[in-house]
Amino acid sequence: MKAALLGLLIMLSTLATSCKNETTPMKEFDTNFAHVVYFWLKNPESQEDRSAFEASLKKFLSTSDYAQTQFIGTPANTPREVVDNSWTYSIILTFPSKEIQNKYQQEPVHLKFIEESEDLWERVQVYDAVGLE
């Protein structure tokens, strides 16, 4: 019985350790203001373009003073009529207020990201939303 319990504890400890996120922890999702951006790269099949875009995006997000939740995603390819899987990358950022999001828009690291990466995309679509009270 003790051996089985010890084995179970070791297994759970190993599972918990392996599930830890090794990247920068995501800050708590702020429900006041969400900024969702979709990018369509000009050459989505180019690994070189994808690597350059990802590197610039990650550098920018890791140094932003304002962006809270920092989710980077690619299409999930969920085959439903209402789902648009045509984009290449998306980001979801949250902010404590519209005013803070406005500061983020003028933040030097944000402007540098645009300068570095705008030649890689053909389209950007932004959806901003404020939370319901």
DSSP 5-63: HHHHHHHHHHHHHHTS--SPPPPPPPSSEEEEEEEEESSTT-HHHHHHHHHHHHHHHHH
Domain count, the chain: 1
Q: What pLDDT is attached to residue 6? A: 35
User: Looking at residue 99, which CATH number applies to its domain?
Assistant: 3.30.70.100
Q: pTM (2 decimals)?
A: 0.76
- pLDDT 10s digits, 9-20: 333 333 333 333
Q: Is residue 9 part of a domain?
A: no
Average pLDDT of 96-100?
93
**Domain with 95 in it:** 30-130
Instruction: Find where tokens 């540098």 sit.
Output: 112
Q: Is residue 82 part of a domain?
A: yes
